[in-house]
């Protein structure tokens, strides 16, 4: 299944590629026009969009598990606060960063791949969807995230060939890019004005380098607000309804792309196509049901140190014999 993403820039978007002097350039790719000429087009790399999707998917999943845990506690307890959601740092790194590949030459034990999948990867849906690295073992993800191409006069035919139906008029490529100024200034004098509020300790010379600038001026190339990009998410390994439910729920909350988000860049509005309301509700309900039916297994997996799978003894065994619910 494929879901098409229409992303409209509400703020300037800056997906940085490299810096030349004081300017950060946009990530761009060469494309060949129908007349055979080539031109550079600013894009949203699929890997960049996938990284944002991974982070938001991990947050969405943890929030939903926490909510299910609280609901479960309320059903069994009449007083007291629900216990905190416990998670091992290694598992959190797996959820948000995809895990860490190790360069160890000696293995502590032969991991049981079936046990890893059943008791760790499958319960933690984000790992099943986008994949994870456990030492030297890589569990591949199930989804592909396409490159985001802007809608311009020069790229309309390319997007049409990719299956995007375009009705809106398109600006020229030269009209969608600009540069913005980013400044940083020396605030030591402002800090010294706080002496009426508090006792400022130390000397100015101790807080700044001898060659520090009074003000720094940096520039970033950006795609201007109003620009529309199209990308897609599709499963290259068939996903369950519950997995699709998590992907769709995550896409609902996705609203920032690129760098300098804290500085006022990157806000986008995303609209999805390629799925009807009936299927949407079916997938969301399947995802909610999966968490409810497998809550204990998910909680056990969250507390697991993924390195335990590589121990030679049985102490690294996690999870239960609870059967995974198919959707």
- Give the start-to-end residue ranges of the domains of the chain: 2-175+223-316, 182-220
**Residue 73: per-residue pLDDT:** 67
**Residue 326: per-residue pLDDT:** 41
Render pLDDT for 114-155 as a digit per residue (tens, 0 to 9): 888 999 999 999 999 999 988 778 889 999 999 999 999 988
Of 30-44, 153-167, 168-182, 196-210, the poorest mean pLDDT is in 196-210
Q: Nearest CA to 290 among 322, 264, 260?
A: 322
- Cβ contact 60:253 at 8 Å: yes
Instruction: State the Cα–Cα distance between residues 318 and 300, nearest whole angstrom.
Output: 7
pTM for the predicted model, two decimal places? 0.80
- Centre a 10 Å sphere on the Cβ of residue 17 and count the other Cβ atoms it contains: 14
**Burial readout 164-187 (b: 16 or more C-beta within 10 A, e: otherwise):** beeeeebbebeebbeebebeeeee
- Centre a 10 Å sphere on the Cβ of residue 134 and count the other Cβ atoms it contains: 23
Residue 178 pLDDT exceeds 70: yes
Determine what percent of the chain falls in helix, strand and coil, rounding each to the nearest 5: 40, 25, 40
- pLDDT category at 306 given cuts 50, 70, 90 is confident
- Pick the residue with more confidence: 142 or 100? 142
- pLDDT category at 317 given cuts 50, 70, 90 is very low
- Cβ contact 179:21 at 8 Å: no
Length of the chain, please?
327
- Mean pLDDT, rounded, of the chain: 82
- Pick the residue with more confidence: 301 or 84? 301
Instruction: State the Cα–Cα distance between residues 121 and 129, nearest whole angstrom.
Output: 9
Instruction: State the Cα–Cα distance between residues 155 and 178, nearest whole angstrom.
Output: 18
Render pLDDT for 271-305 as a digit per residue (tens, 0 to 9): 999 999 999 999 999 999 999 999 999 999 999 98
DSSP SS3 for 177? strand
- Centre a 10 Å sphere on the Cβ of residue 77 and count the other Cβ atoms it contains: 10
Residue 215 pLDDT exceeds 60: no
**Residue 216: per-residue pLDDT:** 66
- Centre a 10 Å sphere on the Cβ of residue 39 and count the other Cβ atoms it contains: 15
Mean pLDDT, residues 249-272:
89
The C-alpha angle 113, 118, 120, rounded to 5 degrees, equals 85
């Amino acid at each position: 299944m494929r879901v098409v993403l229409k992303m409209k820039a509400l703020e300037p978007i800056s997906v940085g590629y490299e810096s030349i002097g004081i300017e950060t350039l946009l990530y761009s790719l060469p494309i060949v026009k129908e007349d055979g000429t080539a031109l550079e087009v600013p894009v949203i790399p699929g890997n960049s969009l996938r990284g944002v999707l991974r982070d938001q998917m991990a947050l969405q999943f943890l929030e939903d598990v926490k909510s299910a845990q609280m609901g479960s506690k309320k059903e069994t307890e009449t007083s007291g606060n629900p216990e905190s959601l416990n998670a091992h740092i290694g598992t959190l790194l797996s959820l948000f960063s995809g895990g860490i590949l190790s360069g160890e030459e000696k293995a502590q034990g032969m991991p049981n791949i079936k046990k890893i999948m059943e008791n760790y990867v499958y319960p933690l849906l984000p790992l099943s969807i986008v994949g994870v690295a456990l030492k030297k073992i890589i569990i591949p993800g199930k989804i592909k995230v396409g490159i985001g191409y802007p809608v311009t006069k020069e790229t309309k035919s390319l997007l049409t060939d990719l299956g995007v139906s375009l009705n809106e008029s398109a600006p020229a490529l030269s009209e969608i890019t600009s540069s913005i100024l980013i400044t940083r200034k020396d605030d030591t004098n402002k800090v010294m004005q706080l002496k009426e509020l508090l006792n400022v300790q130390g000397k100015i010379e101790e807080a700044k380098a001898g060659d520090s600038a009074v003000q720094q001026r940096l520039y970033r190339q950006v795609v201007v607000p109003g620009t529309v990009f199209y990308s897609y998410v599709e499963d290259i390994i068939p996903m369950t309804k519950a997995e699709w439910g998590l992907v769709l729920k995550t896409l609902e909350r996705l609203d920032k792309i690129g760098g300098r988000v804290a500085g006022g860049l990157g806000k986008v509005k995303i609209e999805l196509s390629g799925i009807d309301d009936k299927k949407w509700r079916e997938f969301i309900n399947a995802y909610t049901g999966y968490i409810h039916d497998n809550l204990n297994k998910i909680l056990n997996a969250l507390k697991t140190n993924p390195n335990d799978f590589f121990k030679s003894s049985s102490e690294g065994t996690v999870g239960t014999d609870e059967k995974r619910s198919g959707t």
